[in-house]
Structure 1
Amino acid sequence: MANAFSTASSDNSVAYINGRVYTINDQVPWAEAFIVGPDGTFCAVGTTGEIETKARQQHLTTYDLRGQFVMPGIHDAHVHLLISAIAITSQARLPIQLTNTNVAEELKKGSCLCKYTHVNQDWFVANGYSVDDFHRSSLDAAFPDTPVMIRGGAGHSAFLNTTALKRAGYSIDSEPDGQGTCYKRDSSGHLTGEMAEMSMSKLLTSLPKPSPAHIKRVLKEAQFILHRAGVTSVQEASSNTLLLQALQNLDAEGVLKLETHTHITYAPDWIGEEPSAVLHALIDQAEAYKSKHVDTRFVKIILDGVPLEPYYTHAGLTSDGKCDSSKLFITNVHEAVQKYDARGMTMKIHCTGHGATRLTLDAFEAARKANPNGPRHEIAHCSGVHDDDYSRFKELNVTAEMSPAFFFVHPVTEASNGLMDWNFPKMLAASAHITIGSDWGAGEAPDLLPCLGAIAEKVGNGDRVLGGQKICRMLTLSGAEAMGREKELGSIEVGKKANFIAVDKDLSQGEFDDAHVLTTWFEGEIVYEKP
């Protein structure tokens, strides 16, 4: 009788040798080799000689890293998995800048780039950035009966034709303003079809949803793109019911190869694309969606907008140092923080204005007084932090999640007159806990490495304060710590999950420019190899 086939015994381990391994372990920061056990964890780390000896003794398969720089897999602290997956596969892609006269023509061109169509039933959805002098009439002639929506403004605005406005339930003649809304109107006071922030609630909560099968299909594509960027762990920043169901199914099928931390949307409803009551109930049921690679202990709030023209929907400070509440999307952030902090759920709160950041820190401070041993929370983006508030991040055990990395050094940032300032030197001087995110939403790739070369060289008070090693830690172990999973993830140490990457440059030396991920491993399995 034949022996039972098993891959769980120790001789199914793999020994990796001859690497330049940056472990992110402060006790032993460098190694040359390691062994990955059949359970997908590191079971030995050391020199090539030490690991080769063990490999011979245990008759292990050996993998030669050939001197490549190896480090833990990247933790992307801010992605929008479902939004990105749908955008890159199933929605028309447009040039960043459009005009009212060419938008219909570009839409027709962009539709040819869609891999999948009709995923939102008969709606035509596209992604751009802005449309100068937009009026819905520019789309009505070309699309008289088809509802058309163009996502813009880094996801914070939309451009609709007349059919879409009516289908979503807007009153073109008399739609009222509300808390955090931003409608563009013509000289007669009628809606032009351009809107931002809370104005999009009716639109995005009524937009027909893709089928569950399609969501699973495109999430697999998004996962591959993340692996190509060296990402093995993410914080999903706008989780809803459809996404959690799909992730749970993919994990049950054994095809989810990504540590996924789902921040379930509390508010606003438009980013969750579901009514508030549904989203709040989903947070209450979060534990039911937890699985091997899906951690659901997280909540998301977008508190204000963006400091981008023509909207400038960020919440700044009033003359007396208080938050400008007219720009807030919700006014009960203190109540929400207290509620979920008491449950031990980490909150990620989007803040881009000085006022929104201060108000959020005030809410976290109140929660710490009521619950001193509560979870570590975080502020997303951190591009608008007043000088008086940097020190509060460490004092309150709050993570400074810096994103989108694409904007760290960018013409738009430079032209913002200080409204967009990802100030790593000030954060480090305040000893803040820092993570980095791509804020991947509709772009082609969430590649973090090309964005970090200039950051590694940033200076403060004449001295270099950042470098490759600090950034590598922000990209790995700091993310695991922010999630409360530093005992499982984030460094190459015995007992931790074997999620790691090989790169063609030495990132520890700040060589981020033109760096490329060569191979990505997830729990010891190769999930991406550069052709």
Structure 2
Amino acid sequence: MSPSFSSESLHNSVAYINGRVYTVNKDAAWAEAFIVDPEGNFSAVGTTKDIEARAHNDDLIIFDLRGQFIMPGIHDAHVHMLISGIGMLSHVKLPMGGLNSDTVGEELKKGSCLCKYAHVHQDWLVGTAYQIENFHRESLDKTYPDTPVLIRGGAAHSAYLNTEALKRAGYDIESEKDGQGTRYLRDERGHLTGEMAEMSMSKALTTIPRPNLSHVKRALRDAQYMLHRAGVTSCQEASANSLMLHGLRELEAEGALKINIHPHIVYAPDWLAEESTEALHRLIDDSAFFRSKHVDTRFVKIILDGVPLEPYFSQAGLTENGRVEESKLFILNVHQAVQKYDAIGMTMKIHCTGQGATRLTLDAYEAVRKTNADGPRHEIAHCNGVHDDDYKRFNELNVTAEMSPAFLFVNPLAAASGGLMDWNFPKMLKANAHTTIGSDWGAGELPDLLPCMAGIVESVGFGDKQLGGERICRMLTLAGAEAVGKEKETGSIETGKKANFIAVSEDLSRGDFDKARILTTWFEGEIVYEEH
């Protein structure tokens, strides 16, 4: 067959014209038009006049952008795709406010009728809530005496269980022992109330039956669509487990994966991945098997401490004499883990919300930099608890400051934390830290980062200068690509890079985030989302 009849020939490129294209390329920040070749790459970037002339000369299809603001696709530096997907399809979503021990049973009963897919966890009933006031398992026992019930809460760092769930998971209701990083709430008799946080959840979350692979794929497809709605074409998955990697592998083989995913396979704690520590460590060892065109598995995740939320306040801070609050750490071997995976070129993302956990992690990164100066760029997730002395170390140690969850950047909850939740962009930028932004998406809502940026765009960065739209656009795109070592392939609109781009209702380069909407998302030149 003649090459002219092949869909892979350059004759099948598409020319996009009449756009306001913010490229995030410092050498040519603005353009009007570009050409996307059949393989989904930018083959030319320039003016409408030049691109239109080439299109007519080569007889290309022309797409008129009609003056829309165009920028590279967003890189969300912290998502939980599988947790979000399963939550949207199969978990009971309980009210955010006004939920207490007396009402939770009836609310759960009402909500369970609305789940699209029941019996995902066999006979367990799973829900999500922010907080349940004065919880005691006996209130759930009245409605569900024989059904194990688990409700995830507190930014996924806590859980509420009824008596049947506690028994099936192997808890000793009358005399369960405390351990490293555990948080059990007990009644006046010293018995478990069923409310617990952090490492206390290990037995429950590694016992609960897991969904089958078909449902995992279904959840990942739904999560992918939600990310596309938010303009996301690349992301870092922060809680990858075996089921997720097998699901991604099959979706890739089916041609259904339309996003670049960088799964951070969980090293610890086991409750994050709902899988045994031994299985997770084997998964990291076998991670190369799961690499593919759109899946890069060179990443490892550790949650080192908890969250600065009442009533737990499980973040690991610093004592008056500058020591780390070790009782709040989830693992005590972070130095060894960093050394092991740094040596084989795997990037570590370590969750730190307290100043002590952050300092300990930076110390671990500094130790490997002394023996492996050219090792991978590691990350600290969240970065809301950083001591003033430690900001400069991010740049010195080539560590990414991954700022998340974005919805808390400007939020009454963060403001009321007494300084425990401080995402200090000005200090990070003054220290020249490599900075990215993540949604920490895990609750099933749209992971829309744009409204969250409205609250920080006027933050003072250097002297009297504002943080500004252009700098935020870079954090949301090219900085993310740099964090995962893909800056030569994605993150900006440049010739030779993948054609992952979005049309937005407002000019984000000017900081117009407040009312901005994603109009269209393209992945490798293919429209994967359009606003209707």
TM-score higher than 0.5? yes
The equivalent residue for 2:506 is 505
Q: What pairs up with 1:110-129 in 2 under 5 angstroms?
A: 110-129=111-130
* 1:454 lines up with 2:475 in the alignment: no
Q: What pairs up with 1:431-446 in 2 under 5 angstroms?
A: 431-446=432-447
Q: 2:4 touches 2:11 (CA, 8 Å); kept in 1?
A: no
Aligned partner letter, 2:34: F
Shift of 1:421: 0.2
Q: Deviations over 1:316-353 (max 9, x none)?
A: 00122121100000000000000000010000000000
Q: Deviations over 1:428-487 (max 9, x none)?
A: 000000000000011411000010011001125762330000000000000000001100
The equivalent residue for 1:204 is 205
Q: What pairs up with 1:287-306 in 2 under 5 angstroms?
A: 287-306=288-307
The equivalent residue for 1:171 is 172
Give the distance between the partners of 1:519 and 1:459, measured in 2 at CA.
31
The equivalent residue for 2:92 is 92
Q: 1:342 touches 1:371 (CA, 8 Å); kept in 2?
A: yes
The equivalent residue for 2:484 is 483
Q: What pairs up with 1:421-432 in 2 under 5 angstroms?
A: 421-432=422-433
Shift of 1:96: 1.7
Give the distance between the partners of 1:462 and 1:150, measured in 2 at CA.
47
Q: Deviations over 1:217-269 (max 9, x none)?
A: 11111111100000000000000000000001001100100000010000000
Give the distance between the partners of 2:323 and 2:510, measured in 1 at CA.
42
The equivalent residue for 1:60 is 60
Q: What pairs up with 1:90-489 in 2 under 5 angstroms?
A: 90-97=90-97, 98-459=99-460, 463-489=464-490
Give the distance between the partners of 1:21 and 1:364, measured in 2 at CA.
38
Q: Deviations over 1:69-97 (max 9, x none)?
A: 00000000000010000011110000123
Aligned partner letter, 1:348: K
Give the distance between the partners of 1:294 and 1:207, measured in 2 at CA.
27
Q: CA RMSD in A?
A: 1.1
Give the distance between the partners of 1:3 and 1:347, measured in 2 at CA.
46
Give the distance between the partners of 1:72 and 1:11, measured in 2 at CA.
24
Give the distance between the partners of 1:62 and 1:402, measured in 2 at CA.
39
Give the distance between the partners of 2:463 and 2:4, measured in 1 at CA.
66
Residues 45, 280 of structure 1: alpha-carbon distance in 2 compared, 3 angstrom cutoff: same
Aligned partner letter, 1:278: A
Q: 1:503 touches 1:515 (CA, 8 Å); kept in 2?
A: yes
Give the distance between the partners of 1:464 and 1:147, measured in 2 at CA.
55
User: What is the DSSP-based 3-state SS (H/G/I as helix, E as strand, rest coil) of the residue aligned with 2:351?
Assistant: strand
Q: What pairs up with 1:507-526 in 2 under 5 angstroms?
A: 507-526=508-527
Aligned partner letter, 1:182: R
User: What is the DSSP-based 3-state SS (H/G/I as helix, E as strand, rest coil) of the residue aligned with 1:441?
Assistant: coil
Q: Deviations over 1:173-196 (max 9, x none)?
A: 111110000001111111100000
Q: 1:400 touches 1:434 (CA, 8 Å); kept in 2?
A: yes
* 1:38 lines up with 2:2 in the alignment: no
TM-score normalised by structure 1 residue count: 0.99
Give the distance between the partners of 1:340 and 1:324, measured in 2 at CA.
25
Shift of 1:113: 2.9
Q: 1:90 touches 1:117 (CA, 8 Å); kept in 2?
A: yes
Give the distance between the partners of 1:212 and 1:405, measured in 2 at CA.
31
Shift of 1:5: 5.0
Q: Deviations over 1:138-196 (max 9, x none)?
A: 00010011000000000000000000000111111111110000001111111100000
Shift of 1:6: 2.1
Aligned partner letter, 1:136: R
Give the distance between the partners of 2:106 and 2:383, measured in 1 at CA.
38
Give the distance between the partners of 2:320 and 2:114, measured in 1 at CA.
49
Q: 1:15 touches 1:62 (CA, 8 Å); kept in 2?
A: yes
Shift of 1:112: 2.8
Give the distance between the partners of 2:4 and 2:175, measured in 1 at CA.
73
Q: 2:426 touches 2:462 (CA, 8 Å); kept in 1?
A: no
Q: 1:14 touches 1:61 (CA, 8 Å); kept in 2?
A: yes
Aligned partner letter, 2:115: C
Give the distance between the partners of 2:491 and 2:130, measured in 1 at CA.
35
Aligned partner letter, 2:27: Q
Give the distance between the partners of 2:419 and 2:111, measured in 1 at CA.
34
Q: 1:127 touches 1:150 (CA, 8 Å); kept in 2?
A: yes
Aligned partner letter, 1:298: F
Q: 1:93 touches 1:113 (CA, 8 Å); kept in 2?
A: no
Q: Deviations over 1:361-400 (max 9, x none)?
A: 0000001011111000000000000101000000000000
User: What is the DSSP-based 3-state SS (H/G/I as helix, E as strand, rest coil) of the residue aligned with 1:355?
Assistant: helix
Identity of matched residues, %? 69
Aligned partner letter, 1:368: R
Give the distance between the partners of 1:251 and 1:460, measured in 2 at CA.
41
Give the distance between the partners of 2:441 and 2:81, measured in 1 at CA.
8
Show structure 1 runs of 5+ residues with no match. none
Aligned length: 531
The equivalent residue for 2:24 is 24
Q: 1:351 touches 1:380 (CA, 8 Å); kept in 2?
A: yes
Give the distance between the partners of 1:466 and 1:82, measured in 2 at CA.
33
User: What is the DSSP-based 3-state SS (H/G/I as helix, E as strand, rest coil) of the residue aligned with 1:322?
Assistant: coil
User: What is the DSSP-based 3-state SS (H/G/I as helix, E as strand, rest coil) of the residue aligned with 1:88?
Assistant: helix
Aligned partner letter, 1:52: E
Q: 1:41 touches 1:494 (CA, 8 Å); kept in 2?
A: yes
Give the distance between the partners of 2:319 and 2:191, measured in 1 at CA.
31
Give the distance between the partners of 1:276 and 1:408, measured in 2 at CA.
32
Give the distance between the partners of 1:499 and 1:275, measured in 2 at CA.
36
User: What is the DSSP-based 3-state SS (H/G/I as helix, E as strand, rest coil) of the residue aligned with 1:138?
Assistant: helix
Give the distance between the partners of 1:229 and 1:49, measured in 2 at CA.
31
Give the distance between the partners of 2:69 and 2:397, measured in 1 at CA.
36
Q: 2:85 touches 2:444 (CA, 8 Å); kept in 1?
A: no
Q: 2:425 touches 2:461 (CA, 8 Å); kept in 1?
A: no
Aligned partner letter, 1:66: R
Q: 2:3 touches 2:9 (CA, 8 Å); kept in 1?
A: no
